A and B are shown apart, each in its own frame.
Chain A
Amino acid sequence: MVEGVYAKLVGARLRGQMSYRASFLLQCLAQAVNQLAELVIILVLFDRVSALGGFSVSEVVLVYAIAGTAFGIADMVAGQLDELPTCIRTGTFDVLLLRPLSTLAQMMASDLHLRKVGRIVAGVGALVYALSHNDIAWSVWTAGLVVLAPLSGAVIFASIWVAANALCFWIVDGQELANTVTYGSNAFTSYPATVYGPWLRRFFAFVIPGAFVAYYPGLALLGRPDPLGGPAFLGWISPLVALAAAVVAGLVWRTAVRHYRGTGS
Chain B
Amino acid sequence: MATNVAFGLLRMAVLIAAVGQGPIAGYDIAATTTYVWLGQGLMAVVVLWGDQRLADRVRSGDVVVDLYRPWHLQFALFAEDVGRAGYAVLVRLAPPVAFGALFFPFRWPSIGTAPVFAVSVALALTVSFGMRFLLNATTFWLLDNRGVQALYTAFTWLFCGLAVPLAFFPGWALPIVWSTPFAAMLQAPIDIFLERGSPWPFLAGQAFWAVAVLAAGHLALNRAVRKVVVQGG
Contact = CB atoms under 8 A, between A and B. Distances in A.
Interface stretch (A65-73, A173-181, A211-219): A173-181
B225 to A, nearest CB: 22
Interface string A22-44: 11111101110110011011001
B164 A20 contact: no
Nearest to B155: A33
B114 to A, nearest CB: 30
B143 interface: yes
A41 B21 contact: no
Contacts of A177: 2-3
Interface SS of chain B: helix, strand, loop or mixed?
helix
Nearest to A24: B147
A207 to B, nearest CB: 13
A33 B154 contact: yes
B154 A40 contact: no
Contact of B147 (A25, A40, A184): A25
Interface residues of B, number: 35
Given A22-B142, A26-B147, A30-B150, A195 B17 contact: yes
A25 B18 CA distance: 36
A195 B13 CA distance: 6
Contacts, number: 105
Given A44-B168, A184-B6, A23 B11 contact: no
A49 B21 contact: yes
Interface in A36-68: 37-38, 40-41, 44-45, 47-49, 51-53
Contacts of A251: none
A179 to B, nearest CB: 5
Given A23-B142, A23-B144, A31 B150 contact: yes
Contacts of B143: 20
B60 interface: no
A30 B152 CA distance: 8
Contacts of B6: 180, 184
A27 B13 contact: no
A143 interface: no
B163 interface: yes
Contact of A184 (B7, B25, B157, B164): B7
Interface string B1-45: 111001101110111011001001100000000000000000000
A196 interface: yes
B146 interface: yes
Contacts of B164: 41, 44-45
A76 to B, nearest CB: 14
Interface in B130-176: 142-148, 150-151, 153-155, 157-158, 163-164, 168-170
Nearest to B13: A196
B157 A200 contact: no
A48 B18 contact: yes
A53 B17 contact: yes
Contacts of A169: none
A187 interface: yes
Contacts of A184: 3, 6-7, 10
A79 to B, nearest CB: 13
Contacts of A229: none
A176 B3 contact: yes
B151 A47 contact: no
A177 B15 CA distance: 24
Interface of B: 1-3, 6-7, 9-11, 13-15, 17-18, 21, 24-25, 142-148, 150-151, 153-155, 157-158, 163-164, 168-170
13 contacts: A20-B143, A23-B148, A27-B150, A27-B151, A45-B164, A48-B18, A48-B25, A176-B1, A180-B3, A180-B7, A184-B3, A191-B14, A196-B10
What are the 5 closest A-B residue pairs judged by CB atoms, nearest first? A26-B147, A30-B150, A23-B147, A20-B144, A33-B154
Interface of A: 20, 22-27, 29-31, 33-34, 37-38, 40-41, 44-45, 47-49, 51-53, 115, 176-177, 179-180, 183-184, 187-188, 191, 195-197, 200, 204
